[in-house]
Amino acid sequence: MTKILGYIAYEGPSEIDGSPVVVIVNKIDADSKNGKTGAIVQTFIIRSDIAPMAAVQTGADYAICGNCEHRPITAKETGKPPCYVQVGKSVQSVFHAYKRGRYVKADPATIAKALQGKIVRLGTYGDPFAAPVTMWNQIIRFAAGHRGYTHQWQRADFDAAAWSPLVMASADSIDQAAHANLLGMRVFRVSIGVDKQSGEAVCPASAEGQRKSTCAKCTLCAGTSIQARDVVIADHAAGHARRVISIAAV
């Protein structure tokens, strides 16, 4: 019997624009080769009808990324840091496995049991907001911990009270971080260079944090489910050195 790679936690309309999306839960029992994250269960939010690379190239990834300024199609026009996820590799592989039937659709109780005692990443690729908040709460209820980020916190229909225990508000400026705090969100801010502000802690899994921990071991990115400082990390996406020089020259 072919080994099941993971589970389908959700198939339905995107909470962002109504397009068809799917949430895949995988890497449940596998060790991670990623030295920054460590062993952590992965979840992918992708279009269920369009291959990820095609979605990225046409802008159809809006359904799973919303107005994130790091979307490749947006970053290319604005010069903002591009998304660090290598869509052509891991995400594309997950999509093709989904189309081959390698993931099993299961009810939330089954998935919650499989994730018991695990650390779960909400949105390894894709914004967690694209899927119902109730689904996330159901599947991680027995998990040992969770990590998650959203750029959708500025939407008029974003329910900060419901989402803040699950995810960090992704911010790309000090002003955005302050706004998210006013909504009751803890913040994960990407800075150009290192400019830690009062009330922030440098990501301990980052190079500037001397890689003292991993995402799996660190508990900082668990939204308001814990009481802790906000988190800042230096831009490390492709072209980051050029952006630091550009800022320094201003």
The pLDDT confidence band at residue 16, using thresholds 50, 70 and 90, is very high
Both tokens of residue 203?
A: 């990501």
Question: Is pLDDT at 37 greater than 70 in this prediction?
Answer: no
3 vs 5: CA distance, rounded Å: 6
End-to-end CA distance of the chain: 61
pLDDT tens, residue by residue, 81-121 = 788 898 999 999 999 999 999 999 999 999 999 999 999 99
The pLDDT confidence band at residue 247, using thresholds 50, 70 and 90, is very low
The pLDDT confidence band at residue 49, using thresholds 50, 70 and 90, is very high
Q: How many CB atoms lie within 10 A of CB 162?
A: 12
Both tokens of residue 75?
A: 């970053």
Question: Is pLDDT at 55 greater than 60 in this prediction?
Answer: yes
> Quick one: DSSP state of residue 203?
-
CA 150 to chain centre: 7
Backbone angles phi, psi at 173, to 5 degrees: -160, 165
Q: What is the pTM of this model?
A: 0.90
247 vs 83: CA distance, rounded Å: 19
17 vs 141: CA distance, rounded Å: 27
pLDDT tens, residue by residue, 147-183 = 999 999 999 999 999 999 999 999 999 999 999 999 9
pLDDT tens, residue by residue, 174-215 = 999 999 999 999 999 998 777 899 999 999 999 888 899 998
Q: Yes or no: say if 20 and 48 are a contact pair by the CB < 8 Å rule.
A: yes
